Amino acid sequence: MKTPQHPNSQFPELARLVTLIDGVYAVALTLLVLDLKLPQNTDLAAALRQMLPGFLVYLITFASIAGYWMIHHGTFRHIAHGDGRLVFLSLLNLLFVTLFPLSASIVGGHPLEPLATACLSANSLLYCTTSWATWSYAAANRHLLAQKADYRRLQQAERMMLLVAVGLALAIPLAFVNVYLTYAIWILYTPVVGLWLRARRRPSA
Amino acid sequence: MKTPQHPNSQFPELARLVTLIDGVYAVALTLLVLDLKLPQNTDLAAALRQMLPGFLVYLITFASIAGYWMIHHGTFRHIAHGDGRLVFLSLLNLLFVTLFPLSASIVGGHPLEPLATACLSANSLLYCTTSWATWSYAAANRHLLAQKADYRRLQQAERMMLLVAVGLALAIPLAFVNVYLTYAIWILYTPVVGLWLRARRRPSA
Amino acid sequence: MKTPQHPNSQFPELARLVTLIDGVYAVALTLLVLDLKLPQNTDLAAALRQMLPGFLVYLITFASIAGYWMIHHGTFRHIAHGDGRLVFLSLLNLLFVTLFPLSASIVGGHPLEPLATACLSANSLLYCTTSWATWSYAAANRHLLAQKADYRRLQQAERMMLLVAVGLALAIPLAFVNVYLTYAIWILYTPVVGLWLRARRRPSA
Amino acid sequence: MKTPQHPNSQFPELARLVTLIDGVYAVALTLLVLDLKLPQNTDLAAALRQMLPGFLVYLITFASIAGYWMIHHGTFRHIAHGDGRLVFLSLLNLLFVTLFPLSASIVGGHPLEPLATACLSANSLLYCTTSWATWSYAAANRHLLAQKADYRRLQQAERMMLLVAVGLALAIPLAFVNVYLTYAIWILYTPVVGLWLRARRRPSA
């Protein structure tokens, strides 16, 4: 994370940005659980059963945030310098990380309502779009990249974010056809895209 | 962030202070969302509509904290050493970061009451004042600065904080004339000040 | 935490993973307390007395998380490089850290119900199992280890996690015999395993 | 924070411990505000007035935690190596940091009840006692100290913690005489002790 000072940049090093980002991801991952509260007006076994849909939403959201963090981690290390625009895009991206606990809470309370699932899909969609913008901006400004930056990795992260965004954009109207289609996209689509891109990358390496 | 040991200082390096500061900003940015709770006694579409004013306040507060963090990040890196007074001023400044979730919650619950908006304006005003005091103190104690510190950047941050503070001080009485004037100041004034100072700086660079 | 770049790895350094992990532990340790709320419909002395079982559960959970963190800290430093699978296992492991506030809250509300204690036992059991998987994976992939890695430490952490997992697996059915047996395992078993392994290690050192 | 490897220690470096500690302080400082909720069943001006006692308790607790963090920061940097016991004492110390939001909440709800103030005094007292134990342990195990450690600083921190602990121990029974005596100790005693020790240190420097 230590980078040589870049004289023309206002944010010559990114260590603090990374600390803030990791802090927000850590808090968001941990706050998700605050939405899961045991119902009080019933016996424990029934209360636990009532919590199941919310718990499933919790698992989906945790997996999404954790997966997004993995992509961020694997990509951002190829960026060595910042400028105002990169920091702005990163903070805009963080906005949609902090919204996940709210979106998850809306879906957890109304797991079968298309409108509720649309909130979480839109949240993820906006996260992916701003991620894509961040990687595109960095890729187009090579003086921001690390000396040994793997340029293909940035392009791959861009492509990944676009593909996931397309899936999430489809999940919004599909929920009004059948809400389980949205769940299928959330649970299956993103890992499949990730694994497919990973498989494609290997031969060229 | 690594600095040579300064023998007369009790806080020769600032890494831990920066970690604490970034931690508090990260938690504050993420806690804001806990105030947004879906109303239960209505259908989902109406409940989402009822959340809109609170959501707007959320966006304004997130943008404020994120913007203040950007200024802190761009300025604090010119300070290399600490002393008791600098750490004290930084912690006082953090107090007003931790209060943002409360002020935002007061405005979110009463978005059109001048007294509520005055709470958030006063919170921002006190943040800016203590920020200004921090930058002034560092600028007046050059042995605290980094070797290649950009002195003008500190002066610019001081001026920025004073100008924003003046706007926020005006926002408090103006809310009692028309509460939307306060919203106009929150949404328009700070970015305009920031962009204007940035534009002014460029020619002199 | 600084490691030489490992060319074939997608996560050549682990600093950010460690930051995320420590952030999640820090937030989880601090969020636990949010479940302790003073009952309002009684005088203060009675309210404090009513909080006692929840407070005991708080202490047990804090001690568990803190103890798990100590083991993680003492073990993970022997790992120098990451790959996708190690990061995946670490994030899966973190899932069960973020669930502790929920499990503790379930037990705090129903301290004498076997089903409630089974939730916290299962949570700890899944934490230990994924920890064990992490240490096993690292031990089986020596190119991930630090140059001067103490291989026995990894094996010891594996064994520790397996032994604790066995105890927790027994705690689940035993709670239905007598719920205090579960408390005995929580409070006594883990420290005894830890101290016993520590004592065994010394002669061989 | 970078330290040469100490072969006999299980925790040769303390960077992760410091990250965890700073994370817990940051979260605790920010969570305090969650206890301040605007009363709903009254007009805004009256609701704000009702919040005042809780707000004062918030300020006192924030100042306490921030002050304790300053002492920790100024002292812990003289410790370079860890062992199991130092880490254990540090985590025990952290337990009492995480309890501050609860104690503050009890006092905020019952600001004039001696029993409530006793909870916060006891929390601070236990924090100071475990801090004192940490500094004493490090001072008695010089191989844990940094090469250029200022030994007097550790002794001063020990003395500070003992003196504050004595004041807090007196605050518990004095609250049952007159609860405002406890507030006087909280607000006046600790800063006076701190400034007095600081003044005494200077001539000897």
pLDDT, one tens digit per residue, over B94-150 is: 999 999 999 999 999 999 999 999 999 999 999 999 999 999 999 999 889 988 888
Q: Where are the beta strands (DSSP E) in B23-106?
A: none
- What 3-state DSSP class applies to C41? coil
| Predicted TM-score of the model (pTM) | 0.93
Q: Which residues of D touch A26 (CB under 8 A)?
A: 23
Q: How do residues D54-83 score in pLDDT, each as one tens digit?
A: 999 999 999 999 999 999 999 999 999 998
* Structure ipTM: 0.90
Which position has the token pair 């076997």?
C114
Between C205 and C175, the more confident residue is C175
Q: How far is D196 from chain C (nearest CA, A)?
A: 33
Are D91 and C66 a contacting pair at CB < 8 A?
yes
Cβ neighbour number for residue B14 with a 10 Å cutoff: 22
Which chains have 3 or more CB–CB distances shorter than 8 Å to chain A?
A: B, C, D
When pLDDT is averaged across residues C25-44 and rounded to a whole number, the result is 91
3-state secondary structure of A12: coil
Return the closest-CA partner of residue A135 out of A112, A113, A156, A166: A156
C104 with C58: CB under 8 angstroms? yes
Comparing alpha-carbon positions, the chain A residue that sits nearest to C28 is: A30
* AA identity, residue B3: T
Q: Chain B: nearest CA to C100, how far in angstroms? A: 19
Indicate yes or no: CB of C62 within 8 angstroms of CB of D95: yes
DSSP states along A119-182 = HHHHHHHHHHHHHHHHHHHHHH-GGGB-TT--HHHHHHHHHHHHHHHHHHHHHHHHHHH-HHHH
User: Are A100 and A27 in contact, with CB atoms under 8 Å apart?
Assistant: no
pLDDT digits (tens, 9 = 90+) for D78-101: 999 998 899 999 999 999 999 999
CA–CA min distance C128, chain B (Å): 28
Q: Which residues of D touch B24 (CB under 8 A)?
A: 26, 29-30
Per-residue pLDDT tens digits for D123-158: 999 999 999 999 999 999 988 998 888 888 888 899
CA separation for the pair A65, A124 (Å, rounded)? 9
Backbone angles phi, psi at A79, to 5 degrees: -100, 130
**Could you please report the per-residue DSSP string of C96-125?**
HHHTHHHHHHHHHHSTT-HHHHHHHHHHHH
What three-state secondary structure class fits C11? strand
Read off the tokens for D67.
């002050």
Has residue B201 got a pLDDT over 70? no
What are φ and ψ of residue C176, in 5° steps? -80, -20
Taking only the tens place, the pLDDT of each residue in A36-66 is 988 888 899 999 999 999 999 999 999 999 9
Residue B195's pLDDT band (boundaries 50, 70, 90)? confident
Q: What is the pLDDT of residues B146-171, one digit of tens each?
A: 888 888 888 889 999 999 999 999 99
Chain A residue numbers with beta carbons less than 8 Å from the beta carbon of B73 are: 11, 16-17, 87
User: CA C19 to CA B11: how far, in whole Å?
Assistant: 23
> Which residues on A lie below 8 Å from C93 (Cβ)?
none
d(CA B165, CA A15): 29
B84 vs chain A: nearest CA distance in angstroms?
22
Q: How confident is the prediction for chain A on average, in pLDDT?
A: 89
> d(Cα D203, Cα D198) in Å, to the nearest integer?
10
Q: What is d(CA B8, CA B143) in angstroms, rounded to the nearest whole number?
A: 10
Closest CA to B26 of A3, A11, D22: D22
> In the prediction, which pLDDT does C180 show?
95
Q: pLDDT value at position C202?
A: 58
Of the pLDDT bands very low, low, confident and very high (cuts 50, 70, 90), residue A7 is very low
Verify whether the Cβ–Cβ distance A115 to B48 is below 8 Å: yes
